[in-house]
Each structure stands twice: as C-alpha cells, then as structure tokens.
Amino acid sequence: MRYNVELGFGFQTEVLWEDDSLLIADKPSGIPVHETKDTNRPDFTRLLQKALGLKQLRTVNRLDFGTSGIVLLGKENSDNVHLDELLKTSDKEYIFISHGIPDWKEKRTESFLKEGKMRMMTVRSGGKKAITEFKVLGILQKEKLFLGSAKLITGRRHQIRIHISEEGFPILGDEVYGDAKKGNPKRMFLHSWKFQFEDAPDHKTGVRSSVPKEFLHYFSESYLEERVD
C-alpha cells in the first residue's frame, strides 16, 4: 500500500513499497539522501526514519542532491548483504529533460569513469566501466528540449548526468555537467522513475514513482503515460 509522509522542513514523500526489511520511498529534489558532514543539516533518510518512528533506516542506494525519485532503505542491519545484492540485480530507469534535440531515438553509451573532485571524469584507463541506455520520449522544438529515459546497466556515481552531457545534451538544471542557469530551472530535471526487483524466487515486483510536478510544466502526465511502458 502506498502512503504519503510529511517529513518536515517543507518536504514530503510517498512510500511506494514496504515489507519487514525493505522500504522504498520517493526522495524529493533539493535534499541530501543521507547524513552529510554537517550533522545539523536535514537529510531524507533521517527525516523519514523519525517520521515513521523506526529504530534505524539505512540508505541502500544513493541519489544526488538535485535528483528525485526512488530510494531503497533497509530496516535491519542483518539484511545488508541481501539488500545490496537486490539493488545490484534490479532494473533501474530514470526520466530526464535535457537541452538540445538528438538526431537519434535510442542510444547506448559506454565509457570508463573515475572519481574526481566534485565530479566524475571519463578516462581511458584506471576507471570503472559505465553503461547507460537512452531513449528519446518527447521533443519540444521551440524550447529546444527533449524528454528522455535512461536505463542503468551499471551504477556509477553521476553516470547518467555525465553520459548524456558528453553526448552534447546536458540535463536541465545540472550545475556540474551543464549550464544550470540556462532556462532558469527550479531544480535538476533527473528523476528515478522505475525500479524492478526480485522479491521472491522467479518473481519480480515493479515499483514506479509519480511524475514530479516540475516535469509537468513541460510534459503532461498523460503524455508521459503514453510514452513510457
């Protein structure tokens, strides 16, 4: 059963799926997913733990500060290995809005990425393999923007952001890999949209997040429903 939770500090979330060991919730844009060096700074995991009255809550996957969408959270430390494996074998898909209009409908991008200061770097050697599959879902000719989906084949930090930027189409509102001021966006337009995982032998469960209201300024929810399986 899905339900909404008020987190405080002007944030709220929707719990998308829950069992005894796992909770899947929708992180808003504009809040860190877990505790930072500044322990007084609110973060999504601790606010949700407090709001639900849980003894503990561990972030299984990470989303960037400006990215919204699906976050997995473990309720029991004893399930850490199981949940990490569940994340590794799951299917993860994002939606985004980028500057420019591609001359392709689908594209698979592969590179080697290495951690740099505040950002990832593409390298010829010494990095980790990163693979993303992109699709164009819709185009706004006048605004020179497009709506796309990104399926993660690997899960590297900033993978989608750097891959699509290096293709020449930085994500709207991306302060690191694009021009965040271009178009005066209110956020970074990257959203963790779908998550499919095996919750029992030979049985998969799919979870889908709601479309963020900021996306609906450009593309209607019905438009998205028609173009995303």
Is 90 exceeded by the pLDDT of residue 222? no
Q: Which residues are catalytic?
A: 64
The kind and range of the H/E element at 152 are strand 145-152
- Cβ neighbors of 125 (< 8 A, separation 6 or more) are 112
| Average pLDDT value over all residues in the chain | 92
Chain segment 29-55, per-residue pLDDT in tens: 999 999 988 888 999 999 999 999 999
Evaluate whether residue 167 is within a structural domain: yes
What tokens does 206 get? 């799919």
Is 60 exceeded by the pLDDT of residue 167? yes
pLDDT at position 229, please?
A: 57
pLDDT at position 228, please?
A: 63
Chain segment 109-142, per-residue pLDDT in tens: 999 999 888 899 999 888 999 999 999 999 999 9
Q: Which domain holds residue 67?
A: 1-89
CA distance linking residue 52 with residue 12, whole number of Å: 12
Q: What is the pTM of this model?
A: 0.94
DSSP letter at 28?
P
Instruction: Give yes or no: residues 225 and 114 share one domain.
Output: yes
Strand partners, 177: none
CA distance linking residue 100 with residue 121, whole number of Å: 22
Instruction: Give yes or no: residues 81 and 7 share one domain.
Output: yes
Q: What's the number of domains the chain is made of?
A: 2
Is 70 exceeded by the pLDDT of residue 102? yes
